[in-house]
Every structure is written in C-alpha cells, then in structure tokens.
A and B are shown apart, each in its own frame.
Chain A
C-alpha cells in the first residue's frame, strides 16, 4: 500500500499564510481524491477540504486545497492565520478500498 507523508509541524504568526504538504509514496496523487481534516485538542476531526479542493459549508475560504502531480503531493493552504486555526491537520486518500491518513501536521499560531 501507500503512505502519505506530512511535515511534523509548521508555525507562523497571525495573519500570515501556511502551506502543509502531503506526499504520496506510490501511485498517483491524482488517481484518488484527497481530503484534509482539522483536529483541535480534545476534539474529533472535522473536514476542512474534501475531493482535493472543495470546502464544506461553514469552512472559511481562508482554507484551500490543491494537488500537484509533478511532486505527487497535495497541499492545504491556510491564509490569514487565526489563533483558532491552531490544531493538528491530516490529509487522507484511498486506493483499492484501503483508506490512508497522512502522518499529521501540528500548526502553531505564534
């Protein structure tokens, strides 16, 4: 099967932009949709991006997703960082009825 690798942590100041990468180890990143989940401390995960670049209702447009076939990776960009964005973020995709989560990235808002 494949793995999804994310940076362990990223940090930035309020109002700035952060981008989290998610690199697929084998198979094409474009072959199956990628989702992104936010998990605040003590809470269950929630979807912030689904189907590569779609935002669920209620998720601010500061969150955006994309995929890059050349690097076989997906990215989550959070612009205009707010303190409430401090959380763990996980990418997720699937292949052959197996679902894989990324290693997770802790976002710290300085």
Chain B
C-alpha cells in the first residue's frame, strides 16, 4: 500500500523558513516522480513543484509564485521528499500535499497534508 506522510508544518513569521518532509513507503521511491501541491484555506489546488527521478535526470520545476524561494529535493536512501521554503509570505499559508506522479501528468497518490501558517 502506498503511503505518503508529510511533516514539518507549523507557524512561521513572514520572511522565515521552514522545511517540509514526506516519508514514502509501499512503492519504489527512487523510480518515482514526486510533487508538492498546496491548498490555501477555503481555496483550490495549486501545484508548487516537481522533481523527477534520478534515472530521468532528477530535475526540478517550480510554479512561478515560488520559484527562487522554494527548493524540492529527495533522499532516495531514506525514501524521503523535501520542500525547503525560504522568504515565506503570508500568501504561502496552505496545506501542503506530497504526491506521486506519472509522466502523463497524473498526481496519483496524495499524502494527508501538513498545514503551514505564515503570520506575524
């Protein structure tokens, strides 16, 4: 059974930093493309960024609102995905979901999400 468990959310002040983790199990993590998707309170889904498997180059892509501030990385030895968030803004407040994804663009498995609140 695929399991994705996010952690690391919490309250942070504007301009601060936070690192989210996503522990994966039930599939071959090293072969998987992974993404982060967020959802602001009462709002819709927003793609944050994606990292390919190392076999496919391990490259990352980001949505425009987070590019240059957020960094996605992976540790295949620990089956863990990370999201480093710097220079946080109030508009980054959201539940952050870790997802697996397939090349055709489907986000096929989702974690339960972790809440990040950016507020002074």
Contact = CB atoms under 8 A, between A and B. Distances in A.
Interface-central residue, B37, B61, B106, by most chain A CB under 10 Å: B106
Interface residues of A, number: 26
B50 interface: yes
Interface in A37-65: 37, 39, 44-47, 50-51, 56
Contact of B47 (A32, A51, A101): A101
A99 B50 contact: yes
20 contacts: A32-B105, A33-B105, A35-B107, A37-B45, A37-B107, A39-B45, A45-B107, A47-B107, A51-B104, A90-B44, A92-B45, A92-B107, A93-B105, A94-B105, A98-B47, A99-B47, A99-B105, A101-B45, A104-B44, A104-B45
Interface of A: 1, 32-33, 35, 37, 39, 44-47, 50-51, 56, 88, 90, 92-94, 97-104
